[in-house]
Chains A and B, each alone.
Chain A
Amino acid sequence: MFGFHYRLERHALRFVIAVILVAGIGGFVEIAPLFTISETVEAAPDMRLYTPLEVAGRNIYMREGCYACHSQMIRTLRDDVERYGPYSLAVESKYDHPMLWGSKRTGPDLARIGGKYSDEWQVAHLQDPRAVVPESKMPSYAFLGRTPLKTSDLGLHLKALRKVGVPYTGEMVANAPADAYGQAAPDSPYAAGVAQRYGEATQVRAFMGRQGDPTEMDALVAYLQVLGRLTDVAKAQQAQAAE
């Protein structure tokens, strides 16, 4: 066998062909499951889309590198399920481009953080983590509350996501800046359109406790409060499995 290799590596062309063949096996094994992905991933007909404000919050989450310390992936382990809730399903990341599963937990997992704590807590915690959790080692993100959110380019973000398969309509793209404003300003005339376009379950609230031009804090809290709440399929499926 080693004699064969000894002979093979002495012929450039034969050796190149052999390398391509062997590397091709690795490539095929990685790519082949994608051919049937539509049949192997669960269906979630009730899945909602991220609103423009939540997309903006997600971008801030990525910009600030939150994924470096927080995962968004509840594993199929008893400890994980008991602390964080039903384990994550692939379909729940259907509209995540890129996915933010993460691989390190300096802080807790955030896959189902939405609704677990109040907006006030999220804001107070982001402003000064140690004011509410004395043992925390998270940095302060108070500046997010002082930074106005750039909403003018949100339509383009939605368009880019549509290109990779998120079903945003033309109406959603056209109204993105107005919807971002309206979601954090429930008394404004822009609020009604958000629920109409993104579903009644969309959380339209003054996330920082005051209405008006949204800040980056509004966007990030809106995103955190929707994590794990775009679909109920995981809870339903695992409740059924437990029967």
Chain B
Amino acid sequence: MAVEERDPHSGYLTTGHEWNGIKELNTPVPRPVYLFLALTALFAVVYWVLMPAWPVGRTYTKGLLGMDQRTSVTSELKQAALERSAWMKRIETEALPAIQADAGLMQRVRETGRTLFADNCAACHGREARGGPGFPDLTTSSWLWGGDPETIAETIRVGVNSAHKDSRVSQMPAFGRDKMLEPRQIEDVITYVRSLSSQPRSAPAAQVESGRDLFAANCAACHGDDAKGIGAGAPNLTDSFWLYGGDVESLRRTLTQGRQGHMPTWEARLTEAERKLLALYIVDLRRKEQP
């Protein structure tokens, strides 16, 4: 079926098809298209030789360059750790006051701490560490478990009410739900507790008095006789900091339903040096807030 008829106008061959005297041209594909096709095919062949490509039974062709993403990410991480190792080692081994006194080292803490904090802590404590509903503000002087760097590092390690075996444990009982206090008694306790901090007080003295007695019988074991907390997760109720809110509505919810905050353990996710660095970063944040 060879068709050798040439169109006299364009000079191209025709396909031999004809409709009402109009003949279909067999215009050749432009040369650059063939060129690119050939180049891509050539690229593929070179790539097969250099890079891992073809499956062969139980293995595959490894390629002349020996590229392997798992090996390269491992060595990249090693290299990064090596670059950090000089000052990271100092964070790991030196005493906390010595690190805090070293301006150069603290600059590293601020830079790396910021990234670590954003990746791991900011979801709950906020990007600026100012906390959120039920998540503590880390820039204040109010600390449930202690605010010195060692204690903070330990809290990061074990978490609060977490699955870790050494987890810090605290629970505010549900006095209302579990029928330990009558609703009227809860109102008295709320009035008394609010009278301790700098909140507007217009409550009758009798109610405050009754609240004081109930507090001594039910709350003082954890919050202390003076309601200043005894440092084991039970907060100081006489200051102006409230984790769950110090208004009547929030306090009623706290006393009725109880509270049990959770902080995950970071022992498996962060290294010891990273946890120490974060503790230093947090203490440094507070220092910046309150010069």
Contacts and interface: CB of A to CB of B under 8 A. Distances in A.
B123 A78 contact: no
A1 to B, nearest CB: 10
Contacts of A117: 123-124, 264
A116 B264 contact: yes
Contacts of A78: 73, 76-77, 80
Contacts of A36: 55, 57-58
A76 B69 contact: yes
Interface string A53-90: 00000000000000000000000111001110101000
Nearest to B131: A132
Nearest to A238: B74
Interface string A32-51: 11001001100000000000
Interface stretch (B132-140, B142-150, B188-196, B228-236): B132-140
Contacts of A218: none
Interface in B103-131: 119-120, 122-124, 126-127
B288 interface: no
A241 B123 contact: no
Contacts of B72: 76
A22 interface: no
A26 B256 CA distance: 66
Contact of A124 (B69, B134, B163, B265): B134
A17 interface: no
A contact patch SS: helix
Contacts of A116: 120, 264, 269
Given A76-B69, A118-B262, A121-B124, A131 B77 contact: no
B245 to A, nearest CB: 14
Range for the number of chain B residues in contact with chain A: 20 to 34
B165 to A, nearest CB: 14
A193 B123 CA distance: 34
A119 interface: yes
Interface residues on A, range: 20 to 34
B124 A76 contact: no
Interface string B36-57: 0000000000000000001101
Nearest to B132: A132
- With a 10 A CB-CB cut-off, give which of B1, B54, B77, B122 has the most chain A CB atoms: B77
Contacts of B135: 121, 132
A16 B268 CA distance: 59
A125 B70 contact: no
A85 B73 contact: no
Contacts of A235: 268
19 contacts: A32-B55, A36-B55, A87-B73, A115-B163, A115-B265, A116-B264, A117-B123, A118-B262, A118-B263, A119-B262, A120-B134, A120-B262, A121-B124, A121-B135, A125-B123, A132-B123, A132-B133, A134-B126, A242-B77
Given A131-B133, A242-B78, 5 more contacts: A10-B1, A29-B55, A33-B55, A120-B261, A121-B124
